[in-house]
Amino acid sequence: MMRSLPKPRTQKLTIIAQDPSAKDGAGRIVRARVEIPAESLQPGPWGYRVQVVDFDAATDTLWKPLEYKKRNGIVEDPFATASDAELLADPRFHQQNVYAIIMRVLGRFEFALGRRVSWSFGGHQLKVAPHATADANAYYSKEDEGLFFGYFVDPATNGLVFSCLSHDVVAHETTHALVDGLRSRYTDPSSPDQAAFHEGISDVVALLSIFSLREVMAGLLSGWKGTGKVSAKKLSPASLRQSALFALAEQMGSAMSQARGQALRNSVRIVQNPALISSAEYQEPHRRGELLVAAMLNALIEIWSERVTGLFLSAGELDLSRVVEEGQRAADILLTMSIRALDYCPPVHLGFGDYLSALVTADREIRPDDSTYHFRARLLASFAAYGIKPSSPGDAEEPGIWTAASGAFSHERSHFEPMQRDADEVFRFIWENRKELDLTEGVYTEVQSVRPCIRAGGDGFSLRETVVEYVQILRLMPPELTDAGYTRPDAELLPDDREVFIHGGGTLIFDEWGQLKYHVHNRLNSYDKQSARIAYLAESGYYLARRPKSEAVRVTRQGLFSQMHLNRGLNRSRKLTDTWAGAKAPPQPVPAHVCGVHSFFTTEEENDDANA
Amino acid sequence: MPTPKPTSLSIRSYQVGFGDSFLLTFHYPKVAGKPKAVHILVDCGSTAMPAAATHSLDDIAQQIATDCGGKLDAVIATHRHADHINGFGTNAAGDNSGDILAKLKPALVVQPWTEDPALAPDAIKPTGKLKALAAHTRGLQAMHACAALAADEAARLGSALPERTRKQLAFLGETNLANLSAVKNLMTMGKKNEYLSYGAKTGLTKLLPGVKIHVLGPPTPADYSEIEKQRSKDKDEFWHLLGATAQNPQTARAPFDKKFAAKTRPAHARWFAQRVTAAHIQQRLEIVRALDDALNNTSLILLFEVGGKKFLFPGDAQIENWNYALKDAPEAAANCKLLAATDFYKVGHHGSLNATPKTLWKLFAKKGAPTKKTTLTTVVSTMSGKHGSTSANTEVPRATLVAELEKNSVFFTTQRIKKPPLFEKRDFPL
């Protein structure tokens, strides 16, 4: 028998390219058919990483799940030729839209990182409710292991606005989930930068993801004229900043502000001014995150605008497809760089300066020759224009990059092979080298992750690295702070009975020979920085909102084994069937629930009884 | 002839459980041998009476009628929350508390500018300052729709919700619901109506010769134009948006055709469906909480200055409302000086944790031991166990605030009123 051809590895599905308010030259909603990994789907769509459960709490309805027909081993796109009205009115299209966009963003992360990316909650499948509630809101919740998208009425048109149909919103929320999977401590209360980072990077990924949709880019640039040309005037940095390409969530923004064409955010238009970052307005996380977006995307705009200057067809006109190609190539490099940089960031207390150093380091490792785009220099300049300096000085040739790890590390008590995957093995290395790594002794220390990765390099070879995150946690009562070396805030903001958690930690990057290449850290013993964070949290009312630390020992239900032993020892063998446990009792209430949405102040509280 | 001046002021605090109701009686020198007094009612509402109480708001209204001798000079309704105005509610039989109060024929009814019916969005031309005001009022109406939705939700989900969450949702929903008959009664019971904002002149001055009245809040969006500009999103529009969704039952109830609804809920969907519901309720609670704060911040803040003494009635104003008078108004420094000399403080929002801003409390210069003659008096109208929780440090009245008030002021709480008469009367010679 002849062997059949291998199954296709990808499949194409229709999505709404921006949101239902973006129309093409014929007045139709702009769509795209995107390529995502082929997989065997259950009704939902329910695949190996994403499970759509279309439960609508506002109307208490479960909407029917999308079931695909298969042909030649891949699913058939049921909406390939659907009308606009069908796309809007059929919840199953909305399900496909969120599924496909999430898979695409996930795929992009895995490509950039050279490995699978896990969700932070432990399970394999992220749950998604495309019509969770009737609110103008969308969010990621770790505790609920899912993404929630709301819908609402636009008072101007009385029509419904679905946040799950906005590419930017879906990509943004997906990025929250992915970043949380990579760096779970970035949702901890820390600094204005850390809270803002989650927002900023999610916007960056959402905006750059649009660039890979060729037809959409061409249409947006040319105004859907189909002439294959674009006016040079539209490609100046100033015009590009006004382009819909760099505006986020237009339909939601318009409906929420009651002003047509008003995007939810338009960060690239923020005027370059190094003073903004310390102004009161930019302390709010979303607003501050916009500075990160502005710094990164303005670098892209400069590069793109410069690259197309040689592409003139005739006076004042350029070839559209070449312009799009240049933009796509540059955006692709920037997106890869911004995702890879996450691996080179410290695991706790991320500052914008840390991220900038991580960006240029990650890029230098895999793309040493930057002579075509000058991306690294451009990024450093653009960040500086918004008042952000790299945390590491770097050297004359590569300013801003992290300094290489130095020290005589002992490998004698650890083994090469498990060092690439086994947290206990790496912990042993850290334990033996704790002095060399300048760790604080006598505090709780834990290896959070060990991630081997293989990244594609420009020279055709692959770059192998192992990325390790460890954290150190010190818990002190306020009166102990001063003796430990930290500055204690005013007792009115930090009463004596509120426990203070101080987090330190580092990222260790091992090269392919198992040698430590970089050690990126925010240490417990950086007393000034840690004191500044404690002061910031105190001033924002964080400690006042926490419960006083109880001196009483908390007695919780015993574990299974201790119970078994105790029962045997006490000769107690009463069975539940002998009791009234099964008798009709009043219904048990659903446990009260704290939403994980951007609630940076709840995480620690819930972890009160555990260190990690 | 010199302007007559009041010789004393009596303040009656009524036992209304969780709510507010105060009667201010200004005593003037005798005119033609007859005693002259001016009676002003500040709020009348309750969302819960003490468990042991046998009286209702009707009895309170009856008591007020007796205490003012059958005639009120003015009514002040600080803001639209039920626990401040539902006592003005009427019924068809004409024997409800509001009917009793209407018969006292106040010459003037004073409310915050946000209650001005002329601001109804369809009743005015959207121009200039009025446009901003109309947008705000429209926002308030939408807030009521949201509140109704919350109350509705609490009822619909019933036992599926944890008891505490359901109670909270129902309580906040009901408190924020527009009490139509009370609103209407306030609009019509007086000879004249006044809708005041920060710095406004008031007809109370004419009714109260020798008394200076300072309106310290609420500010209008026009006062706050600079601050409005700095905000990335317009709060009022936010309510409008939610209200539009809530008020549009057709679209909000069914975003899709019924044929797309699944008939059964498979096992694999149940855990997450429950989480979605929980998250949805959490969001509703957040919204209705924010809404509650917003409405509290429409409270009138009135300071009566008479005979060298100062009496402060701030309704349920929270820091956002206070900020203008204390920090952002051009007269902020003078306001602070004025407030520093406060002799009587009606504790904001039943003693909740955020309605006596520390900035304000620190300002009061006459804090001190209750035994000292010059120490200021503080009165709170409240009931424990109705709102907030001790474990979350949100109980009303908040224990830490009460402790401070007990230590540094002559403190009274209506919780001490256990039997008739249903009020506590305090006299201040002027």
Residue-wise pLDDT for A144-186, tens only, equals: 999 999 998 887 787 889 999 999 999 999 999 999 999 999 9
- Backbone torsions φ then ψ of B299, nearest 5 degrees: -60, 140
Structure tokens at A587: 């219904």
CA distance A353 to chain B (A): 25
Q: Is the pLDDT of residue B84 over 80?
A: yes
- Backbone torsions φ then ψ of B53, nearest 5 degrees: -70, 145
Indicate whether A573 belongs to any domain. Answer: no
What ipTM did this prediction achieve?
Answer: 0.83
Given A403, A432, A455, which residue is the final one in a domain?
A403
Same domain, A385 and A355: yes
Structure tokens at A423: 């947290």
Q: Which among B138, B236, B256 is the top mutation candidate for probing chain A, defined by the most A β-carbons within 10 Å of its own β-carbon?
A: B256
Please state whether the peptide bond connecting residue A43 to the residue before it is cis, i.e. omega within 30 degrees of 0: no
Cβ B244–A137 below 8 Å, yes or no? no
Distance of alpha carbon A434 from alpha carbon B328, whole angstroms: 54
Q: Is the pLDDT of residue A602 over 50?
A: no
Q: Which residues of B touch A153 (CB under 8 A)?
A: 241, 244-245, 248, 251-252
Q: Which residues of B touch A257 (CB under 8 A)?
A: 233-234, 237
Tens-digit pLDDT profile for residues A223-277: 888 788 888 888 889 999 988 888 888 887 777 766 666 777 889 999 999 999 9
Cβ A547–B391 below 8 Å, yes or no? yes
Q: Which residues of B touch A162 (CB under 8 A)?
A: 255
Tens-digit pLDDT profile for residues A488-540: 999 989 999 999 999 999 999 999 888 999 999 999 999 999 999 999 999 88
Tens-digit pLDDT profile for residues A314-361: 778 888 889 999 999 999 999 999 999 999 999 999 999 999 999 999
Q: Is the pLDDT of residue B375 over 60?
A: yes
Q: Minimal Cα distance from B252: which residue of A?
A: A134
Q: Do B11 and B344 touch, CB atoms closer than 8 A?
A: yes
Cβ A132–B244 below 8 Å, yes or no? no
Same domain, A86 and A137: yes
Cβ B262–A62 below 8 Å, yes or no? yes
Which amino acid is present at A242? Q
As a whole number, mean pLDDT of residues A536-545 equals: 88
- For A171, the enclosing helix (H) or strand (E) is helix A167-182
CATH number of the domain where residue A129 is located: 3.10.170.10
Distance of alpha carbon A498 from alpha carbon A492, whole angstroms: 11
Q: Which residues of A touch B282 (CB under 8 A)?
A: 593-595
Same domain, A507 and A361: no
pLDDT score recorded for residue A559: 58
User: B222 — contact with chain A (CB < 8 Å)?
Assistant: no
**pLDDT over 90 percentage in chain A:** 58
Cβ B277–A57 below 8 Å, yes or no? yes
Same domain, A80 and A140: yes
Same domain, A154 and A19: yes
Given A164, A182, A200, which residue is the final one in a domain?
A182
Which amino acid is present at B5? K
Which residue carries 């690259």 as its tokens? A307
Of A89, A153, A281, the CB nearest to B256: A89
Q: Do A355 and A197 touch, CB atoms closer than 8 A?
A: yes
Q: Which residues of A touch B135 (CB under 8 A)?
A: none
User: B233 — contact with chain A (CB < 8 Å)?
Assistant: yes
Nearest Cα residue to B121 out of B106, B139, B104, B134: B134
Structure tokens at B293: 């704060």
Indicate whether A128 belongs to any domain. Answer: yes
Structural domains for chain B:
8-173+182-245+291-429 (3.60.15.10)
User: B160 — contact with chain A (CB < 8 Å)?
Assistant: yes
DSSP A63: B
Indicate whether A333 belongs to any domain. Answer: yes
Tens-digit pLDDT profile for residues B271-325: 999 999 888 887 777 777 777 777 788 899 999 999 899 999 999 998 888 988 9
**Taking all residues of chain A, what is their mean pLDDT, rounded to a whole number?**
86
Question: Which residues on adjacent β-strands are paired with residue A473?
Answer: A444, A503
Q: Minimal Cα distance from B394: which residue of A?
A: A545
Same domain, A273 and A137: no
User: A134 — contact with chain B (CB < 8 Å)?
Assistant: yes
- pLDDT band at A2; cut points 50, 70, 90: low
Same domain, A81 and A139: yes
Same domain, A213 and A326: yes
pLDDT score recorded for residue A578: 58
Instruction: Decide: helix, strand or coil at residue A582.
Output: coil
Same domain, A151 and A281: no
Cβ B272–A129 below 8 Å, yes or no? yes
**Taking all residues of chain B, what is their mean pLDDT, rounded to a whole number?**
84
Domain extent at residue A110: 1-182
Total tally of structural domains belonging to chain A: 3
Contacts of B281 (CB under 8 A, 6+ apart): A57, A593, B153, B157, B161, B165, B169
Q: b/e per residue, A355-374, with b = 16+ CB within 10 A?
A: bbbbbbbbbbbbbeebeebe
**Within 13 Å and on the Cβ side, how many CA atoms surround A128?**
31
Contacts of A109 (CB under 8 A, 6+ apart): A117, A178, A339
Cβ B248–A153 below 8 Å, yes or no? yes
Same domain, A139 and A221: no
Instruction: Decide: helix, strand or coil at residue A133.
Output: strand
Cβ A63–B261 below 8 Å, yes or no? yes
Cα dihedral A199/A202/A208/A214 (nearest 10): -130
Of B232, B240, B272, the CB nearest to A53: B272
Indicate whether A578 belongs to any domain. Answer: no
Same domain, A399 and A275: yes
Q: Minimal Cα distance from A55: which residue of B?
A: B273
Higher pLDDT, A590 or B350: B350
Higher pLDDT, B119 or B424: B424
- Chain A (45-64) residues lying within 8 Å, Cβ to Cβ, of chain B: 51, 53, 55-64
pLDDT score recorded for residue A607: 37
Instruction: Decide: helix, strand or coil at residue B9.
Output: strand
Q: Which residues of A touch B164 (CB under 8 A)?
A: 592
Structure tokens at B202: 């008031």
- pLDDT band at B237; cut points 50, 70, 90: low
Same domain, A68 and A210: no
Indicate whether A410 belongs to any domain. Answer: no
Please state whether the peptide bond connecting residue A45 to the residue before it is cis, i.e. omega within 30 degrees of 0: yes
- Chain A (501-560) residues lying within 8 Å, Cβ to Cβ, of chain B: 547
Indicate whether A553 belongs to any domain. Answer: no
Given A133, A164, A182, which residue is the final one in a domain?
A182
